[in-house]
Chains A and B, each alone.
Chain A
């Protein structure tokens, strides 16, 4: 057990946590934008945006941390994955620009037409960002062509039926998170409609999870090795079982109008379990099927230097992020305006 062996494992957990934190926090955020497709009334849209206005850029900061950690800790993965994902990644960044500025711009323009344009930019930006995140995930799962530690595939390798399917799954999943967020943070007719959206979205999300789970091993047979080997099976078996249990809990809570928070927790649970399951499948690769976490690592001197800071700073960040959420807790109604 040397530092060069252990540090990358610790860092895989931290980077994984970072990505998960991003998905958990920005997922509902992007989902609200997707739901602009069905929520058309201006004041309802204002309420939706106001539920996340004080916290959205903190949410997106996790994406920046993910990029920076990948750069620092797994530079070979950073240098091969990003050129491989170039077109969807650029699309995601531009989409995030459109939706990020729309948060501020839509309250500052003075004509209905311009406001409509920035509302559209919020919707389209959120949807494209979500879809491209799913597409990138699918691209990584299906495998990346690498030669001599550099990406060696073509410009459109990412474009497959599977990656597009993953893109769709993430859009639907984020929309579900957005709807459940609204059930928790709003009231009245908006909350009632969000509850209505959540039901079909949940059914489709779970169906898509099942399909992607069955499809994944077809792409790289080795993904199965952790799932069907005794006794490892014992550790991984709870993942599908928990997904099923959450379906029951979700259905009970979404149909009970007295319950506000549980649907969101269930939806987040699905995301957490999918993410964990995916991690189990591709372990220990970081660029499937050729580069593992040790081959991708920066030297221990870099990983240790950053680890010291991360162990102190990430808990502090989580504490004051929690504080910010607590300051702006409670239901958001039409009388609460953050702009």
Chain B
């Protein structure tokens, strides 16, 4: 273990935890905006109930996103000070724009969205919800623009004296070649992850209600149906989006594709390795199970197409195939499972047993974490696949790290792990308990304690004291 390894592990650990919350917020904020919009248009109580139900869950997820995000904005400096000094002029402004255009928008209107329903009126409240949702999308765009620039850098010059990056063309920097593909792929991933969580929550209540011999409520059925439509439409689109990003990566980062595929020699009519164990030392993939011609067909959309091999690259320039070969396959496997879930749902709708079929509900329940796992595996694939560089082909990871000593970073790593597991473990437990409760008719938002609500806006003395106790209970 070197200080560099630990700096990387610590950054990977904190960013992996962090990415889950914004993805959850991106998907859920959009879902909340849709629910509130449906409620305002149709006036149906069920949409308001679902809105209030998911709003409380959103509040918890969002707060964990905020606090884990503050860590990220400083970790670039603590762990990657050389990188920060060299690439800061390019990446820093994009992050600052993210804060100014997105974070403040989200934080500013989150309060109104969570607690302001009775203070600002419906129209303004809906505007606040939409602004929070738009904020999450703007934030995603900026962060993906900067991440994509690290993968496919352009629009810069390098100062020969200091090795620092100088921005020369901001449009080229922001709209770098891999940005549009990543943006779409990540956006779909966030929406799918949330659809899978919503679907699984509904499936859980459908299964539990059936076991108790109780009819499922309208709210549960509505959210099950909405989630399954979303998955049925989005999962196949996500496969397409992934395919186009793969083609883009083949063009700009062939070494990454070679490592993902476990291919060592460049050739046409290449097979697709379904499974195997890449060996970086012997330069071959052991125990490979191959499908002839499929490798060329998938990557180049033609049987004769040339597929790159890792031996084309110097050993020091190769990403570690032993990691991304597997993470990529987990991601794709889960993606295919999502397509299957969506198709199963559509088929059962056609058969007329959509709300009754236990297997669909069990399948949906098992898929609850699938979106997040696929998303993390995708990020590991693209980030480990960028190695040994931080700015692809230009700045090496070894030349990016801070001058920090091993014992210090080891200590902080241990503390980070302990704190994250305690805090986010507790958060997950709270979220699961909230999702374990069924949405009720007349569901209240985060702003009201039920006793206060039923007592009206001016509680009398007796009710007032009941409120005090209720304040301690929730």
In whole angstroms, what is the CA distance A75 to B86 when docked? 8
B9 to chain A, nearest CB (A): 15
In whole angstroms, what is the CA distance A147 to B342 when docked? 59
Residues in B180-227 with C-beta less than 8 Å from chain A: none
In whole angstroms, what is the CA distance A70 to B99 when docked? 13
Q: Is the CB of B427 within 8 A of A105?
A: yes
Residues in A60-86 with C-beta less than 8 Å from chain B: 60-61, 63-65, 67-73, 75-76, 78-83, 86
Binds A, one of B73-81, B314-322, B386-394: B73-81
In whole angstroms, what is the CA distance A105 to B74 when docked? 25
Once A60-B70, A65-B100 are accepted as A-B contacts, the answer to whether A72 and B93 lie under 8 Å apart by CB is yes
Q: Which of A63, A89, A314 contacts B100 (CB 8 A)?
A: A314
Q: Is the CB of B430 within 8 A of A109?
A: yes
A110 close to chain B: CB less than 8 A: yes
Once A68-B95, A155-B408, A339-B446 are accepted as A-B contacts, the answer to whether A75 and B85 lie under 8 Å apart by CB is yes
Closest residue of A by beta carbon distance from B419: A94
In whole angstroms, what is the CA distance A42 to B71 when docked? 30
Once A58-B108, A75-B89, A81-B77 are accepted as A-B contacts, the answer to whether A86 and B404 lie under 8 Å apart by CB is yes
In whole angstroms, what is the CA distance A64 to B104 when docked? 10
A112 close to chain B: CB less than 8 A: yes
Binds B, one of A245-253, A273-281, A296-304: A296-304
Most buried by B among A57, A65, A69, A335: A57
A319 to chain B, nearest CB (A): 9
Q: Is the CB of A86 within 8 A of B412?
A: yes
A265 to chain B, nearest CB (A): 23
Residues of chain B within 8 A (CB-CB) of A314 are: 100
Q: Is the CB of A305 within 8 A of B167?
A: yes
Binds A, one of B283-291, B299-307, B333-341, B465-473: B465-473
B60 close to chain A: CB less than 8 A: yes
In whole angstroms, what is the CA distance A61 to B95 when docked? 13
Q: Is the CB of B471 within 8 A of A98?
A: no
Residues of chain B within 8 A (CB-CB) of A324 are: 108-109, 111-112
Residues of chain A within 8 A (CB-CB) of B151 are: none
B417 to chain A, nearest CB (A): 11
In whole angstroms, what is the CA distance A57 to B92 when docked? 22
A235 close to chain B: CB less than 8 A: no
Q: Is the CB of B464 within 8 A of A54?
A: no
Residues of chain B within 8 A (CB-CB) of A331 are: none
In whole angstroms, what is the CA distance A16 to B168 when docked? 27
Q: Is the CB of B116 within 8 A of A54?
A: yes
B34 close to chain A: CB less than 8 A: no
A230 close to chain B: CB less than 8 A: no
Q: Which of B96, B111, B120, B472 contacts A71 (CB 8 A)?
A: B96
Q: Is the CB of B471 within 8 A of A71?
A: no
Q: Which of A57, A60, A61, A149 contacts B85 (CB 8 A)?
A: A149
Most buried by B among A96, A98, A337: A337
Q: Could you mark each residue 434-474 of chain B with 1 if its beta carbon is under 8 Å from any beta carbon of chain A, else 0? A: 10000000000011110010000001000010011001111
A97 close to chain B: CB less than 8 A: yes
Q: Could you mark each residue 33-73 of chain B with 1 if its beta carbon is under 8 Å from any beta carbon of chain A, else 0? A: 00000000000000000000000000110111011111101
B13 close to chain A: CB less than 8 A: no
Residues of chain B within 8 A (CB-CB) of A339 are: 446-447, 449, 474
Q: Is the CB of A338 within 8 A of B92?
A: no
Q: Is the CB of B70 within 8 A of A96?
A: yes
In whole angstroms, what is the CA distance A107 to B89 when docked? 42
B115 close to chain A: CB less than 8 A: yes
Once A72-B92, A298-B89, A337-B449 are accepted as A-B contacts, the answer to whether A328 and B119 lie under 8 Å apart by CB is yes
Q: Is the CB of A299 within 8 A of B166?
A: yes
In whole angstroms, what is the CA distance A73 to B92 when docked? 7
Q: Is the CB of A334 within 8 A of B468?
A: yes
Q: Could you mark each residue 89-115 of chain B with 1 if its beta carbon is under 8 Å from any beta carbon of chain A, else 0? A: 111110111111101110111111011
Residues in A290-320 with C-beta less than 8 Å from chain B: 298-299, 301-302, 305-306, 309-310, 313-314, 317, 320
B265 close to chain A: CB less than 8 A: no
Residues of chain A within 8 A (CB-CB) of B86 are: 75
B96 to chain A, nearest CB (A): 4
Q: Which of B68, B111, B403, B474 contacts A107 (CB 8 A)?
A: B474
A108 close to chain B: CB less than 8 A: yes
Closest residue of A by beta carbon distance from B407: A155
- Given A75-B92, A317-B108, output 12 extra A-B contacts at Cβ < 8 Å: A54-B116, A57-B63, A64-B73, A65-B100, A72-B88, A73-B96, A79-B88, A302-B89, A302-B166, A302-B167, A327-B112, A337-B448
Interface residues of B (CB under 8 A from A): 59-60, 62-64, 66-71, 73-74, 76-78, 81-82, 84-86, 88-93, 95-101, 103-105, 107-112, 114-116, 119-120, 164, 166-168, 170, 402-405, 407-408, 412, 415-416, 419, 423, 426-427, 430, 434, 446-449, 452, 459, 464, 467-468, 471-474
Closest 7 CB pairs of A and B: A72-B92, A75-B88, A82-B77, A54-B111, A298-B89, A100-B67, A79-B81
Interchain Cβ contacts under 8 Å between A and B, 6 examples: A69-B96, A71-B95, A78-B76, A79-B81, A150-B81, A335-B467
